Chain A
Amino acid sequence: KAGVTQTPRYLIKTRGQQVTLSCSPISGHRSVSWYQQTPGQGLQFLFEYFSETQRNKGNFPGRFSGRQFSNSRSEMNVSTLELGDSALYLCASSLDTARTGELFFGEGSRLTVL
């Protein structure tokens, strides 16, 4: 069974630009959630999508957005990038809600904002 796939793995952007990250969940998983990992803050919940609907949202500004497609693949977008957005962005999939626990994480997309 293929795992969670995230693309791109690494990217460098400059302040003010926007970025789109992609996540393909494990086949059959309908929930996709996104987390931001930084050295100072650990893993912070961004949002969760289930059947193309945003089900939960963390405490991030509106510059962070996402969507889920009918095949459960998900994208997240960050607009007007700031230096503080430099982080590892992790996508996780699960069969049902992300709150019931066993999330399967991808390897992450490492974003550097210059």
Chain B
Amino acid sequence: DQQVKQNSPSLSVQEGRISILNCDYTNSMFDYFLWYKKYPAEGPTFLISISSIKDKNEDGRFTVFLNKSAKHLSLHIVPSQPGDSAVYFCAASALGGGGADGLTFGKGTHLIIQP
């Protein structure tokens, strides 16, 4: 039973345009969400996070939106740059719910920025 789902295994976007990566979750106990970026042969690196008390968090070109009623979050990258080509993982945590599963990750979306 996958609690965090990234339904698009890959996404191709033209350089300079907006990249939108989507993530859905099923566990209503999740109250903290994160995005990680992974290049080949490297470990994932933290990108941005959002708490369930917010619906938006922005950091430079990266913005994460959270829709709790839909159990959906998205990562927007504007403008997209060639260096953004990587696999993006959505992750969730139950900080207040006593969850004991560390971070629950989605399977990732491979973002390809076309020149």
Contacts and interface: CB of A to CB of B under 8 A. Distances in A.
Contact of A90 (B32, B43, B91, B99): B43
Interface residues on A, range: 20 to 34
Given A107-B42, A108-B43, A98 B32 contact: no
Interface residues on B, range: 20 to 34
Interface in A33-71: 33, 35, 40-45, 47-48, 56-58
A94 B108 CA distance: 22
B100 A105 contact: no
A33 B89 CA distance: 17
Closest 8 CB pairs of A and B: A105-B43, A42-B107, A45-B102, A43-B105, A99-B93, A56-B100, A102-B46, A98-B102
Interface string B84-115: 00000101011100011111111110000000
B43 A102 contact: no
Interface of A: 4, 33, 35, 40-45, 47-48, 56-58, 90, 92, 98-108
B34 interface: yes
Contacts of B89: 42-43
Contacts of A105: 36, 43-45
Given A57-B100, A101-B46, 17 more contacts: A33-B103, A35-B105, A41-B107, A42-B105, A42-B106, A42-B107, A43-B44, A45-B103, A47-B102, A56-B102, A58-B102, A99-B32, A100-B95, A101-B32, A102-B34, A105-B36, A107-B41
